[in-house]
Each structure stands twice: as structure tokens, then as C-alpha cells.
Amino acid sequence: MEKKFKRTLITTALPYANGPVHIGHLAGVYVPADIYARYLRLCGKDVVLVGGSDEHGVPITIKARREGVTPQDIVDRYHKIIKDSFEELGISFDVYSRTTSDTHSATASEFFRRLYDKGEFIENTSMQLYDEEAGQFLADRYVVGKCPHCGNERAYGDQCEACGTSLNATDLIEPKSAITGSVPVMRETKHWYLPLDKWEPALREWILEGHKEWKTNVYGQCKSWLDMGLQPRAVSRDLDWGIPVPVEGAEGKVLYVWFDAPIGYISNTKELLPDTWATYWKDPETRIINFIGKDNIVFHCIVFPAMLMAYGDGFQLPDNVPANEFLNLEGDKISTSRNWAVWLHEYLVDFPGKQDVLRYVLTANAPETKDNDFTWRDFQARNNSELVAILGNFVNRAVVLTHKYFNGEVPAAGEYQPIDNDAFAELKSIKSSLSDNLDNFHFREALKDAMNIARLGNKYLQETEPWKVAKSDMARTATILNVAAQMCANIAVAFEPFMPFMSKKLRGMLGMNEINWDELGRNDLIPAGRHLGEAELLFDKIEDAAIEAQIKRLEDNKRQNMIDAWTVAPQAEDVDFDTFMKADLRVGTVLECKKVPKADKLLQFLIDDGMSKRTIVSGIAKYYEPEDLVGKQVCFIANLPPRKLRGIVSQGMILSAENPDGRLVVMGPTAPVVPGAQVK
């Protein structure tokens, strides 16, 4: 039987404050959470959307060390960028705080202390990795080494990003310090462990029996974790950045970031609702939903619930964790460290006023059931051929025609014809599917439903042809345009969760104030006689140049990454002088140069080699325009046996140097020489 809830608490994964927010974060977590929160608000539900920056942990300290600033400087910088850009994108947080806040420190500290006092931890002294050069213990991202599961050489001390396995630093094969690069030694240290194994039966019951309705990716990951068997997990670290472990004898130790971060959801709620926060956490009639990406599933479905069970005192477990898979960018994994990302704060500068376009594309293409790819071409196509050509076009036609035939006043409808009734029947069925999809976190499908209202509107105008009817029958024209206006109003309601800026603009045009979800599907949202505002374009076309600039920026980043990662090839074995001299190296002048048809890499040269003219085929077509090489002098090997390439006999090889990114540069003399001159 479906449970009834009085209120919903929506949490969003706390973005880690060592960088700005990118489109992967948005598609995975914040856009769907915002759609859901806006939808519930429109339904008149009691809902809060909480979020905040995750500001502790090792990567922040590594970044600070690298930049020669304090960890606080780092988190202040990124918290501001993240918070501001979320706001500008219309992510409607009721509170967006941070884990360095006093409320959070006190809450997380108390949480740990209660578990400690209840005897919920195992205190354990063990050998841990220690960097003697840096004088500190190494945990999490402070250690890199080989993953014991998949062999990835760059696994971290907390997780292997290649296979997703969560690790302990001591699991790594051939560990190295990320601070100094030195090989760590083992040293004894004391930590507190949460015995996850103790909670395994309860977790099994709760998830595997109680939540079969969860998304298959989430349920499946939980099941495989539980089937592997849970182990005690350390919840403290030897670090100086974080919330101090609040017990005697714990100097120099802080709470593990994954212990403190989810408690941030509680602290955020406290900051928002100092008096009533507990109702949102402890009342069984509260429904808690955690929006996260797939790499956070274990923490939200296993670790944090075990913490909450250990704490007791009525804390509720999440009702659902609709985790998304990952969004990739132009075929590659998004990465903060490799700068392979579209950064939200940069997007907002490059595409001012186009928040909804990004929200639309990220939802239409959301990685709900499998990893998905964002490409700039797809972004452009969805804007131009969906938002402009379908949605914007319908609304524009409806408003312009109302101005043209009725001076902008919505005419009263006469008696409906079957086509009008059919349109509203279709609208009702769209609403039912749309609500159903939103209720079940199927946001991609829900967005398609909403778009179907605009498609319906276009089809309606196409079939009723008010511009023709107006020549003979103004009464019928009035009915048609009344129906069209009601469809526009329905669009304003249906799209509010997805594209709040467009919805607001449209409501302004239509003179609509308060809206609610109940109204959706109705044929009387706009009263006859309402004067419409001027038709403003809801979306405009995105030109090729804007897209090409974005693609170029990504390509530049990729090239820079290759250059940064490049190492000089080791010197080849010695070759004796006589052998070297056997290669007949010459300079020649390019007489002709052209592309080899149907071969995108090859150029065909005709070279004056001093003796006669020779043909050479060279694989440099990607890097040169043929005409730019005519008249230039190049070095080539003259005495290679002739070789047939694409049916052309090549007599020799032109020399070029290869850049780290594969770019070839042709070698030639620095001053003119006589064709045929030998290179020695």
C-alpha cells in the first residue's frame, strides 16, 4: 500500500568546494532535484530543498597546498562561485549553506559524540601509511597507487575512479604519497570505526525487501554491496582540516569527510528551520528524497543510513534515492582536474539569459538510466529545432495572431467543434502522463510530455488555420485563438518546473499571476477579454559561431592536457656514422601540392629535387593547406624504395617533427638553398 506523507525533504549531494559546478553535477543532481521541488511546490505540497557546499576533506587541502593559500581560502572562493551560479540558474534552494558553518560543526560533533557515548564505534589502533617527508599520515586522496581490483595505476586511497570500488589507503598496491611522491612507511595510529556489518541485516531488510521500487541502478548497487558483506569503516582521519573528533585523546584527528558531509543535510535544515527542523527528519510522515550521482550511492544507501540507525532518536531513512548515472562531455568523462567540463559560471557568462536552454538540454539528455553524452552540437540542435522551432514558434504564432485579429484581446470561445474537444482531451492525457513521470523521477519523459503540449498547439493551429478562417468566419477564428491562448497558458504551467525563466516570461505575456499544478489541463486559464502583452520571443537561435567557440575551447584544453602529460621519448640506440650517411637526405622545392582524393591525411607533392621532378606522398593533410606549401623548401629522404600509396607512387619521404598532440610540422632549411642540396 502506498504510504501517505505530510511533507517532503529533498536533499542534494553537497558539491565539493575544490572547484566550480559543471554540467555533470547539474544533470546528475541539481536540475532534477530542482524540477522535483518546483513540481511539488506547484502541487501545493510542503517541501524543502536543502543544499550546501562540502568543504572538508583531503582534495581541498591538496589544492590549497599547491596554490600556497589556506584551505579556508579555497572553500570561500568556490562556495561563492557555486552558490551564485546555482542561484542564477534558478536552482530554488530553500537553504544553501556550507559544512564550515558553526551550526554544522556543532551538529556533526554532537552526532559523533552521541555514537561514541552509545558505544557504537569500534576503537582500533592500526598501521597506516605515513609520509615521513611531509610528516603526516596519508589517507584518501593523499595516496595514489594501483587498484587491487582492476589494476588502474592511478587509484586513490579512498576510491578507484576506473572501476568505482571504494578502497582503504592500505589496499593500494605500490602506494605513493600525493604530497611528496615518496613511498610511505607504516605507522601506528588510532581511529574510530563504524561497524557497518552490525547494520547489515537491518539495511538488507530496509532496502532489499522494503524498497524494491528504487531505480534498478541504485537497488543493484546496494544489493551487490550487501552481498559482498559490509566491513567496519573508519570515520576519523589524521588531518588538520575538518571537524575535530570530539573525544579525549583525539588531538590532530578530524571527522572523515564522508561522516561529516551527509550530516550537512541535517545542519542545513536546522539553519533553515531552527524550530521545526526535527519534524523534517524525525516524523514518520516526512518523506526524505536524496538526489545524488551514482558514485555517492553507497554513502547514501549504506553508510549514512547506518549512521542514522546508530544514532536512533527517530531519525528517518530516505524514502527514495533516485541516483543518476554520469553525464560525459563530447565522448569523454567530465573531469575537474583535466578541465574537461562545461563550467556553469562560464556558461552563464557566455550564454546570458539562456539558463533555460541548459536546463532543457540537460533534462532532455539526462543520464537517468545510463551514462549519457553532452555535445555542443546537440545543445545547438535542441535549442534551434525544439525550443525555437516548436515551443517558441507556437507561442509566438498564438500571440501574434491574437494581436492581428483581436487587437491582443483574448476572444471569447464559441461552441467547441470536435477538433477543439480532441485537443483538450489530448491535453488531459498529456497531463496525466506528465504528472506520473514527475512522481516517479522520470524527468526526461516528463519533459517530452511537456513538449507535447507545444507540439499539440502547433498541430492545432496547422489544422484549424485561423489565418484562412479569418477571411470568412471571425466567430470561429475567435474560438480557435481562445483555444490557442489556453494552450499557451498550459505551457506556462507545465514548464515551470523545467524552465522557470521561460514560464515567468510567458506568464508575463499572458497576464497570469499565481499558478498551480491543478490548473493544468483546463480550458479556462485565461479569461476572455484579457489583453495580452506584445509577442516577445521566448528563445532565439544559437548560431554556429557560438558553438564553434565552445568546441574550440574544449579542443584547446585537450591539447594543453596532452602537452602537460607529454614526456620526451628516450634517446634511440647509437647508430654508426656510415649507416647514418646511407640515408640520402636532400632539400627540394615544392612545385605543386594537392590533396589526395578520398584520403583525408594525404598530400601529393611534386618536388624539384635538383635532378628532376619527383612525386612524394605525405601524411600531413590535416595540418596544412596545400597551396600554402607551394614554393616552400622541404627536407626529404631521397633513397627510400618507391612505395605505392592510394595508387600513387611515392618516391621518398618528407621529414616532419611531431608535437605532443600529434600535430606535424614540416622540416625545411632556415634560408633558401639550391634544390638537391644534401643535408648532412
Ligand X SMILES: Nc1ncnc2c1ncn2[C@@H]1O[C@H](COP(=O)(O)OP(=O)(O)OP(=O)(O)O)[C@@H](O)[C@H]1O
For Zn ion, give the closer residue by CB, 162 or 183: 162
Least Å distance, CB 375 to ligand X, is 14
Least Å distance, CB 155 to ligand X, is 14
For ligand X, give the closer residue by CB, 85 or 618: 85
Work out what residue 29 binds among Zn ion, ligand X, none; the CB cut-off runs from 5 to 8 Å by kind: ligand X
Q: Quickly count: other Cβ atoms within 10 Å of residue 547's Cβ.
A: 17
Work out what residue 176 binds among ligand X, Zn ion, none; the CB cut-off runs from 5 to 8 Å by kind: none
Work out what residue 160 binds among Zn ion, ligand X, none; the CB cut-off runs from 5 to 8 Å by kind: Zn ion
| Cβ-Cβ contacts under 8 Å for 555 (sequence gap 6 or more) | none
* Span from 147-155, 287-295, 304-312, 570-578 in contact with ligand X (CB under 6 A): 287-295
Interface with ligand X includes 423 (CB under 6 A)? no
> Using CB under 6 A, which of 25, 83, 507, 614 touches ligand X?
25
**Is 147 one of the annotated binding-site residues?**
yes
For Zn ion, give the closer residue by CB, 124 or 224: 224
Interface with ligand X includes 16 (CB under 6 A)? yes
**Is 163 one of the annotated binding-site residues?**
yes
Measured distance CA(197)–CA(120) in Å, rounded: 12
> Using CB under 6 A, which of 326, 351, 467, 624 touches ligand X?
326
Work out what residue 149 binds among Zn ion, ligand X, none; the CB cut-off runs from 5 to 8 Å by kind: Zn ion
Instruction: Collapse the DSSP code of 106 into the 3-class scheme (helix H, G, I; strand E, B; otherwise coil) and give the result.
Output: helix
Q: Confirm if 231 and 196 have CB atoms less than 8 A apart.
A: yes
Rg, the chain, Cα only: 32
Least Å distance, CB 561 to Zn ion, is 22
> Hey, CA dihedral for 612, 613, 619, 624, is it positive or negative?
positive
- Please provide residue 185's backbone torsions phi and psi, each rounded to the nearest 5 degrees: -105, 170
Site for Zn ion in 133-162 (CB under 5 A): 147, 149-150, 152, 160, 162
CA 387 from centre of chain: 21
| Cβ-Cβ contacts under 8 Å for 478 (sequence gap 6 or more) | 406, 411, 412, 413, 414
CA distances from 541 to 366, 385, 508, 553 (A): 22, 9, 22, 21
For Zn ion, give the closer residue by CB, 163 or 575: 163
Buried b vs exposed e over 35-68: b needs ≥16 C-beta within 10 Å?
bbbbbbbbeeeebbbbbbbbbbbbbbbbbbeeee
> Using CB under 6 A, which of 327, 357, 634, 638 touches ligand X?
327
Buried b vs exposed e over 348-362: b needs ≥16 C-beta within 10 Å?
beebeebbbbbbbbb
Region label for 80, one of left (φ > 0), alpha (ψ between -120 and 50) or beta (otherwise): alpha
> Using CB under 6 A, which of 324, 452, 458, 618 touches ligand X?
324
Measured distance CA(362)–CA(31) in Å, rounded: 8
- Please provide residue 322's backbone torsions phi and psi, each rounded to the nearest 5 degrees: -80, 70
For ligand X, give the closer residue by CB, 25 or 287: 25
Least Å distance, CB 112 to ligand X, is 22
Site for ligand X in 290-309 (CB under 6 A): 292-293, 295-296
Site for ligand X in 351-410 (CB under 6 A): 367
> Using CB under 6 A, which of 19, 71, 497, 588 touches ligand X?
19
Site for ligand X in 27-66 (CB under 6 A): 27-29
Please report, in range form, the residues annotated as the binding site for ATP. 336
Please report, in range form, the residues annotated as the binding site. 147, 150, 160, 163, 336
Please report, in range form, the residues annotated as the binding site for Zn(2+). 147, 150, 160, 163
Binding site for Zn ion (CB under 5 A): 147, 149-150, 152, 160, 162-163
Binding site for ligand X (CB under 6 A): 13, 15-16, 19, 24-25, 27-29, 292-293, 295-296, 324, 326-327, 334-336, 367
